[in-house]
């Protein structure tokens, strides 16, 4: 029997050496077995993989000696501590007991793994509770960022912000709050989202905005992006549209002329649609409206100066004051010049003077004119070009219905095809006129309101039909030249510039299928006058009747007058009618 047993042992460091000191020795009758059991019980029950508390026993350059109350100590690298320089002897530290004993007989400890274990447990709990965790962005990796939240986590680029940023590097080193969106315990993978937290905050702010802000309120926002029709403004949770027409009182061709992405603006709320969460904003409404009292500042007839701000096919816009534009219609550029497009005579940025023709405050429109700076030459047109006056001019242009004659710069007269000849049927002016040819004509009418002058060429001569009886009688034999071929007959130019018509039925005793098979333009022919109509100005000729007796001629004339068209023949009267002009001689054309 032993007289004493060791009740408790304490480890101490004396002069750098470890010693066990006997704290208390009690005299007892316990057996050796009892003593061994007491010694065994004096050592804590440690398990590998458990987290235990220890104390710093010694600070070394790159590691710390830690006592966890076991029979040997463990060493932890200084790199596992966030701030190793602040560690003091005796400081308590939680560590993971990796192994109870290594080859050197020391326990293997890890502060980092203990922290990771604790953090992982915390992360799992937060994931289940849908809580928020804070972390520091470590680096940019493929597809996103790595974040330290106690363990390494992944933040996809799409979850960094509401709008995926172009430069992820700007987030490295910053600390943010995150939501855990995915967790894999087996692989210890953690996926985070910052976007969901931002959207939640924005949603709350959006609802607050919709319930507290009213039309007319002034709010602040940041230009988010620009389109052709306006700019979207981020109002810290909800987007509003600033339309291009509400950016400035001045006319803008593109929103980028007034704002750019990132601009911080004060805007007024124009309209709110709470159901669709749409907000219309205005910027120009915070400025004085330059259209107020516009009629007093720019009364009709006022001369103004400005700058050409835009050119369109129909006119030119002139900025006469900041935010105030007027339109010069292309028709108001000149009294006489034929201007097709304003760009033919004006350029962007050109300084110009004009006259105010009218102001429409409601539609914010001002009509301007340039030609009003000069007198209108048409005001005295009747004194300069009196009816009946003989004039000279150059053929400027020809159409199917007539020819335009330039009498002076910007002043044209028009000769209708029916006023080119007393007798000849003229289908197009080019039959008797040439472009740029100088001709003489008579003024036969003036329409000052529509700025038109009607001219006549045939009026330069006497009407040959006034004395037709002195030249032609029924039964006369005449000579002439074929001037035109039609499907119903041939026109023959006679003496005195009078045309007669040889109907297809009057060419030959034999049936004629086509006029051109028998007659050609320029052919000299002999024919007999068989019809004269002074009222309708018609002269009918017959080639086959040149050998008829007077009785046969009268009979043929009666047959012609009673003739009605068939499949291959039209009546003589109908043929003459077809030769008539669309407009009667002397009538004004378009």
Q: Which of 107-111, 269-273, 529-533 is the most confident on average?
A: 269-273
Instruction: Output the pLDDT for position 35.
Output: 53
pLDDT at 111 over 80: no
Q: Are 103 and 109 in contact (CB under 8 A)?
A: no
Q: What is the CATH number of domain 43-119?
A: 2.40.50.140
Instruction: Output the pLDDT for position 255.
Output: 92
pLDDT at 577 over 60: no
% of the chain beyond a pLDDT of 90: 32
For range 327-354, the mean pLDDT: 90
Q: Are 416 and 454 in contact (CB under 8 A)?
A: yes
Q: Are 527 and 476 in contact (CB under 8 A)?
A: no
3-class secondary structure, 505 = helix
Fold classified for 464-578: OB fold (Dihydrolipoamide Acetyltransferase, E2P) (2.40.50)
pLDDT at 317 over 90: yes
| CA dihedral for 21, 24, 26, 31, sign (positive or negative) | negative
- Nearest CA to 219 among 201, 194, 203, 240? 240
Instruction: Output the pLDDT for position 292.
Output: 83
Instruction: Output the pLDDT for position 13.
Output: 40
- Under CATH, to which class is 213-286 assigned? mainly beta
Per-residue pLDDT reduced to its tens digit, 61-81: 888 888 888 878 888 888 878
Please list the alpha-helical segments (H only) found in 431-578.
Answer: 468-471, 550-562, 572-578
Instruction: Output the pLDDT for position 229.
Output: 92
- Nearest CA to 422 among 454, 379, 452, 466? 466
pLDDT at 320 over 70: yes
* Band of residue 569 on the pLDDT scale cut at 50, 70, 90: very low
Instruction: Output the pLDDT for position 293.
Output: 84
- Selected residue with higher pLDDT from 399 and 105: 399
CA–CA separation, 214 and 222 (whole Å): 19
Residue 203: left if φ>0, alpha if ψ -120 to 50, beta else—which one? alpha
Q: Count Cα atoms within 13 angstroms, Cβ side, for 461.
A: 15
Per-residue pLDDT reduced to its tens digit, 5-45: 333 344 444 333 343 343 444 444 445 566 555 545 544 56
* Band of residue 587 on the pLDDT scale cut at 50, 70, 90: very low
CA–CA separation, 548 and 485 (whole Å): 25
* Band of residue 50 on the pLDDT scale cut at 50, 70, 90: confident
Per-residue pLDDT reduced to its tens digit, 490-541: 999 887 667 889 999 899 888 889 999 999 999 999 999 988 887 777 788 9
Please give the helix or strand (H or E) that residue 134 lies within, else none: strand 132-141
For range 98-118, the mean pLDDT: 77
Q: Break the chain down into helix, strand, coil percent, rounded to 5.
A: 25, 40, 35
CA–CA separation, 35 and 2 (whole Å): 9
- Selected residue with higher pLDDT from 178 and 186: 178
pLDDT at 225 over 70: yes
* Band of residue 563 on the pLDDT scale cut at 50, 70, 90: low
* Band of residue 226 on the pLDDT scale cut at 50, 70, 90: very high
Mention every residue, 6+ apart, whose C-beta is less than 8 A from residue 15: none
Instruction: Output the pLDDT for position 92.
Output: 85
Average pLDDT over the chain reads: 81
CA–CA separation, 588 and 590 (whole Å): 7
Instruction: Output the pLDDT for position 496.
Output: 66
pLDDT at 176 over 80: yes
Instruction: Output the pLDDT for position 561.
Output: 67
Judge if 43-119 and 294-373 fold alike in CATH terms: yes
In CATH, which superfamily holds the domain spanning 294-373? Nucleic acid-binding proteins (2.40.50.140)
Q: Are 303 and 354 in contact (CB under 8 A)?
A: yes
Task: Name which of 337-341, 375-379, 496-500 the model is least confident about.
Answer: 496-500
CA–CA separation, 65 and 418 (whole Å): 124
pLDDT at 287 over 60: yes
For range 263-267, the mean pLDDT: 91
Q: Are 66 and 21 in contact (CB under 8 A)?
A: no
pTM: 0.43
For range 141-165, the mean pLDDT: 88
Question: Domain segments of the chain: what residues?
Answer: 1-36, 43-119, 213-286, 294-373, 377-460, 464-578
pLDDT at 210 over 70: yes
CA–CA separation, 349 and 309 (whole Å): 6
Q: What is the DSSP string of 371-418?
A: GGGS--GGGGHHHHS-TT-EEEEEEEEEETTEEEEEEETTEEEEEEGG
Q: What is the CATH number of domain 377-460?
A: 2.40.50.140
Q: Is 40 exposed, middle or buried (0-12, 13-18, 19+ CB in 10 A)?
A: exposed
CA–CA separation, 313 and 277 (whole Å): 40
- Selected residue with higher pLDDT from 123 and 39: 123
Q: Are 51 and 110 in contact (CB under 8 A)?
A: no
pLDDT at 1 over 60: no
Q: Token match 């028009």: residue?
A: 414
For range 278-283, the mean pLDDT: 91
């Amino acid at each position: 029997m032993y007289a004493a047993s060791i009740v408790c042992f304490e480890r101490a460091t004396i002069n750098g050496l470890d010693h066990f000191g006997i704290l208390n020795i009690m005299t007892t009758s316990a057996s050796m077995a009892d003593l061994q059991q007491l010694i065994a019980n004096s050592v804590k029950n440690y398990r590998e993989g458990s987290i235990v508390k220890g104390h710093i026993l010694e600070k070394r350059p790159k590691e710390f000696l830690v006592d966890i109350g076991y029979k040997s100590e463990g060493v932890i690298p200084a790199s596992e501590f966030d701030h190793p320089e602040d560690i003091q002897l005796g400081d308590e530290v939680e560590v993971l007991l990796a192994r109870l004993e290594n080859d050197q007989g020391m326990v293997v400890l890890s502060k980092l793994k203990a922290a990771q274990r604790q953090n992982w447990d915390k992360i799992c709990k937060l994931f289940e509770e849908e809580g928020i965790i804070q972390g520091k962005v470590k680096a940019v990796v493929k597809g996103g960022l790595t974040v330290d939240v106690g363990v390494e986590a992944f933040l996809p680029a799409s979850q960094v912000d509401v709008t995926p940023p172009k430069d992820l590097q700007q987030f490295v080193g910053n600390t943010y709050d995150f939501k855990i969106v995915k967790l894999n315990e087996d692989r210890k993978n953690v996926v985070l989202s910052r976007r969901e937290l931002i959207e939640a905050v924005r949603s709350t702010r959006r609802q607050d905005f919709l319930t507290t802000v009213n039309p007319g309120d002034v709010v602040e926002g940041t230009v988010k992006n620009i389109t052709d029709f306006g700019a979207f403004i981020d109002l810290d949770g909800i987007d509003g549209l600033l339309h291009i027409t509400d950016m400035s009182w001045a006319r803008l061709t593109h929103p980028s002329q007034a704002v750019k992405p990132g601009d911080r603006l004060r805007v007024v709320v124009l309209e709110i649609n709470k159901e669709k969460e749409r907000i219309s904003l205005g910027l120009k409404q915070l400025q004085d409206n330059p259209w107020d009292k516009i009629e007093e500042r720019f009364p009709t007839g006022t001369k103004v100066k400005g700058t050409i701000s835009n050119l369109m096919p129909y006119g030119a816009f002139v900025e006469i004051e900041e935010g105030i534009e007027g339109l010069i219609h292309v028709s108001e550029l000149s009294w006489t010049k034929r201007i097709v497009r304003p760009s033919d005579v004006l350029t962007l940025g050109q300084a110009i003077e004009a006259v105010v023709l009218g102001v429409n405050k409601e539609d914010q429109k001002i009509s301007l004119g340039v030609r009003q700076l000069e007198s209108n030459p048409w005001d005295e047109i009747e004194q300069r070009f009196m009816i009946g006056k003989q004039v000279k001019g150059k053929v400027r242009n020809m159409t199917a219905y007539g020819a335009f004659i330039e009498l002076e710069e910007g002043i044209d007269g028009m000769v209708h095809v029916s006023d080119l000849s007393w007798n000849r049927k003229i289908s197009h002016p080019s039959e008797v006129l040439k472009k740029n040819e100088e001709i003489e004509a008579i003024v036969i009418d003036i329409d000052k309101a529509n700025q038109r002058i009607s001219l006549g060429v045939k009026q330069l001569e006497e009407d040959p039909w006034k004395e037709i009886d002195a030249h032609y009688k029924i039964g006369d034999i005449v000579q002439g030249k074929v001037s035109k071929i039609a499907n119903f007959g041939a026109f023959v130019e006679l003496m005195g510039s009078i045309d007669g018509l040889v109907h297809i039925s009057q060419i030959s005793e034999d049936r004629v299928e086509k006029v051109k098979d028998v007659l050609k333009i320029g052919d000299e022919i002999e024919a007999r006058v068989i019809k004269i109509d002074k009222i309708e100005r018609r002269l009918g000729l017959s080639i086959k009747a040149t050998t008829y007796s007077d009785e046969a001629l009268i009979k043929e004339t009666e047959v012609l007058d009673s003739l009605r068209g068939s499949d291959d023949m039209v009546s003589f009267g109908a043929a003459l009618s077809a030769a008539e002009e669309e407009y009667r001689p002397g009538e004004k054309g378009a």
